[in-house]
Amino acid sequence: MRTSYPRARLARTLARTALLFATATTVAATAACGGTGTESSSGKTVTVYSADGVGSWYHTQFAEFQQQTGIAVNLVEAGSGEVVNRVDKEQANPQADVVVTLPPFIQKAKANGLLQDSGVDTSAVPAADKDAEGKYVTLANNYLCFIANPSVDTTAMTWDDLLKPDFKGKLQYSTPGQAGDGTAVLILLQKLLGKQGALDYLNKLQANNVGPSSSTGTLQAKVDKGELSIANGDVQMNLTTIKEKGAKFSVFFPAAADGKKSTVAVPYVMGLAKGAPHKDDAKKLMEFLLSAQAQKSLGSDAFAVPARAELRDAPTGSGPSPSSVLKGVDLLPVDWNTVLADLDGDLAAYQKATGS
């Protein structure tokens, strides 16, 4: 099943995506060690198209992978939706070997025939976190959250509080359908308020919303600087930014009227691209990233939760951890295949409700 869009909107999306990838930095694993080449001495290279957020962890792991195998890794990062749109556009001349993105975009990639069975051993990953047909597997678990400038008291912040005039022009969330975290905002509100209730709420929120954003990551600096008071985010990316860049924003979860806080998972999910130019080497990389050696560093190096079941409680080092910020927050289950099936209609309804 291919997700359809009005032609004008599709053209704008592809143009934006092409520009994004044209200007994106292509990083070889050797770059982490000061190198500038895109191939190893053996001439073997694997290209990864990935949703942004775990770049630092990638660089460390890719450098280790190259040392062990002689295979270099080129990394291209973009928003969750842009990653899949790019792979789709390049079907006649595939460039990506491995695709990593968030749901429902990984399900969209499968439905559009952009992935193939990797044959990689995923037995250490629970069945709920991988495709039964072998087309994709969770690489790292992560969760939707919100962030606030230090000037904002989020102790008892509710969804209704976000509608207050105090936040007019000071609140922004990434766009559903373009960013995985933005799509998760819509999905979470649907689960809390029902589909129409979610649309009614987001319609009211537009009075405060700065405007669309195809990337959640770009909102962090705006909140930290005070350009925004509140934005959406995800636990892994936000905790990493606090640690690595000294960001001062806080991570929080808006509460319902009854005080209950909820969220949904937005994992990084990995698949082997159909027509991957370097299929065998790509499979080696996927196996390496799912190995206990690589997975056990997700908590301490990336503030993500390992996909491997036996490592879910791995320590995260100093500072806040995913488990600490999620304490007292209900994790609501999501059937992402159902989300994908309804996505076109839900996005059309969202655009109508918000005028975006």
Give percent of the chain above pLDDT 70: 87
Chain Cα centroid distance, residue 140: 10
- Coil vs helix vs strand at 101: strand
Model confidence over 56-105: pLDDT tens digits?
899 999 999 999 999 999 999 988 889 999 999 999 999 999 999 999 99
The Cα–Cα gap between 230 and 311 comes to 33
Kind plus residue range of the DSSP H or E element containing 230: strand 230-234
Q: How many CB atoms lie within 10 A of CB 107?
A: 24
User: What is the distance between the alpha carbons of residues 4 and 286, in angstroms, rounded to a whole number?
Assistant: 30
Name the pairing type of β-strands 144-148 and 250-252: antiparallel
Q: What pLDDT is stored for residue 179 in this prediction?
A: 85
b/e burial code for range 185-204 (CB count within 10 A of at least 16 → b): bbbbbbebbebeebbebbee
In the predicted structure, residue 316 carries a pLDDT above the cut 70:
no
Q: What angle do CA 180, 186, 191 make, to 5 degrees?
A: 120
| Residue length of the chain | 356
- What CA–CA distances, in Å, run from 98 to 50, 174, 217, 303? 8, 25, 21, 22
Count CA within 13 A, CB hemisphere, residue 311: 22
Is the torsion defined by CA of 113, 105, 133, 125 positive or negative? positive
pLDDT tens digits, 108-162: 999 999 999 999 999 999 999 999 999 999 999 999 999 999 999 999 999 999 9
> Looking at the DSSP assignment, which residues form a beta bridge with residue 98?
48, 272
Q: How far apart are CA 57 and CA 256, in angstroms?
A: 34
* DSSP3 helix / strand / coil % (the chain, rounded to 5): 45, 15, 40
Q: What is the mean pLDDT of the chain?
A: 88
List the structure tokens of 26.
Answer: 């292509």
User: Concatenated DSSP letters for 60-83?
Assistant: HHHHHHHHHHS-EEEEEEE-HHHH
More confident site: 28 or 333: 333
pLDDT at 335 over 90: yes
The pLDDT of 267-296, averaged and rounded, is 97
Place of tokens 């927050």: 329
H helix runs in the chain, sequence order: 7-23, 55-69, 80-89, 105-111, 180-193, 195-205, 219-225, 235-245, 279-289, 292-295, 298-302, 322-325, 336-354
Instruction: State the DSSP code for 174.
Output: P
Give yes or no for a contact between 339 and 104, defined as CB atoms under 8 angstroms apart: yes
What DSSP line would sit under 194-206, residue for residue? -HHHHHHHHHHHT
Residue type, 79: G
Q: How many CA atoms does the CB half-sphere of 33 hold within 13 Å?
A: 16
DSSP state of 234: E
Higher pLDDT residue, 93 or 42?
93
The phi and psi torsions of 23 (rounded to 5 degrees) equal -100, -10
**For residue range 148-205, what is the model confidence (pLDDT) as tens digits?**
999 999 999 999 999 999 999 999 999 998 888 999 999 999 999 999 999 999 999 9
